[in-house]
Amino acid sequence: MDARSWDARYAATELVWSRGPNRFVERELAELPPGRALDLAGGEGRNAIWLAQQGWQVELVEFSAVALAKARELAAHTGVEVAFTEADLTAPPDLAPADLVLLAYLQVPRETSRQVLRFAASRVAPRGTLLVVAHARRNLVDGVGGPQDPEVLPDVDEVREDLLGTGLTILRAEEVTRPVETEDGLRDAIDLLVRAERPA
């Protein structure tokens, strides 16, 4: 992964992503009792800040220094506490296990994705939850938006395979749709959603 290119992308606009949480993050996690959370590759902090507002103790891990600076500013403006760690997930940092591990819209090649996903799974504490949200590969032909490189777009079977042997129980692994405004009107983006838990 190239932090400099993402630094440039984050520096080019006020916010690359929206201020509010991802719709699937909010939908899947709203009912979980708060604990310790890891937001891996958390970007500008929209999901981490929302989790903190729900009472979670959140550590946001991100390799872009520009994104981290924006996340710190947004957290301060929102009035919540979030811990920030600058780290590249391809060289796994020393992170304590968490009750929730979130990996949302990571865009890396297949083998790197597998490595990061298995690291994320290893950080899930007993009775903890792993939530993965990504642009689905089928989005290239049937959806809209997202990266146009199939190498960085997973499918459900690949994620299931990557989680084999991690000790997690997969509760959901499916494609979900997200309406997006385009020049041609409202269209559906196709995302991948995987939710798993570690038994007690």
**Residue 182 backbone zone (phi > 0: left; psi -120 to 50: alpha; other: beta):** beta
Q: What is the pLDDT of residues 118-159, one digit of tens each?
A: 999 999 999 999 999 999 999 999 999 999 999 999 999 999
What's the pTM?
0.90
CB 10 within 8 A of CB 67: yes
Q: What is the pLDDT of residues 71-115, one digit of tens each?
A: 999 999 999 999 999 999 999 899 999 999 999 999 999 999 999
Domain range for 143:
3-197
Domain count, the chain: 1
CATH number of the domain that residue 136 is part of: 3.40.50.150
